[in-house]
Amino acid sequence: MNKFKYTFLILFFAINTFSGNAQSEGKGSPNIIFILTDGYASNLVDFMPNLKAMQKEGVTFSNYYVSNSLCCPSRSSIFTGMLPHNSGVQTNTVPNGGYQGFMDHGDAQESFCVALQQTGYKTAMMGKFLNGYLPRTHEPLQGWSDWFVAGGGYRNFDYDINSNGQILHYGNAPEDYLTDVLAAPYRQPDQSVERPSFLY
């Protein structure tokens, strides 16, 4: 069975998942949810009914080509549209990779979220950004209206989140489970938003 280091599912649908009324008011721009999952085999999707349902309702690019099999170079390519040799992020760690490599190369200014914001989108980043991002020492990046990002990427308990510049610490209680904490702010539509939204 083929294994994918990165499976990219881009789901474009204008239902009230993230931002309630932008479509109904005739703004013309769709709400966009970009779901990036990594590090599992494609056969595991069978055990993820919610992901399968979203995949069925959205768009899946079955012939999507990853620019690099490592996490940070691939994510940097998604953010900037550049191949790793152009983005300067060629590995997961410094000196030419990870969060610091992304920042040192000036890739934050080249991110698609900056362009989306300039066209009127509310943009939100939640979850893992890049290896080496530390919520306590790194500020939210430009181009993101909302920033709800954990460090490390894989700790499910006893972690920090940078919430628009405010550091939140979560412990070891069941309600501190990282996936649930990350999803909570985005489960209900934000009816106050009168512009299209992008959620990563």
Please give the pLDDT value at position 106. 94
Please give the pLDDT value at position 45. 79
Please give the pLDDT value at position 123. 96
What span, in angstroms and rounded, lies between the C-alpha atoms of 120 and 141?
17
**Segment 127-135 mean pLDDT:** 92
72 is catalytic: no
What span, in angstroms and rounded, lies between the C-alpha atoms of 67 and 76?
9
Please give the pLDDT value at position 135. 93
Provide the pLDDT confidence category of residue 153 given band limits of 50, 70 and 90.
low
More confident residue, 148 or 24: 148
What span, in angstroms and rounded, lies between the C-alpha atoms of 97 and 69?
13
- Residue 12 scores a pLDDT above 90: no
- Closest CA relative to residue 123, chosen from 42, 11, 39, 200: 200
Please give the pLDDT value at position 69. 86
Least confident piece of the model among 6-15, 85-94, 95-104, 168-177: 6-15
- Per-residue pLDDT reduced to its tens digit, 87-108: 999 999 999 999 999 999 999 9
Provide the pLDDT confidence category of residue 37 given band limits of 50, 70 and 90.
confident
Q: What is the pTM of this model?
A: 0.78
- Residue 80 scores a pLDDT above 80: yes
Please give the pLDDT value at position 82. 96
**Segment 80-89 mean pLDDT:** 95
Please give the pLDDT value at position 176. 96
The active-site residue out of 9, 22, 32, 71 is 71
Long-range contacts of 158-165 (CB under 8 A, 24+ apart): 160/135, 160/136, 161/135, 162/135, 162/136, 162/138, 164/140, 165/139, 165/140
Enter the tokens of residue 11: 């789901």
Strand ranges for 63-165 from DSSP E: 122-128, 146-150, 159-163
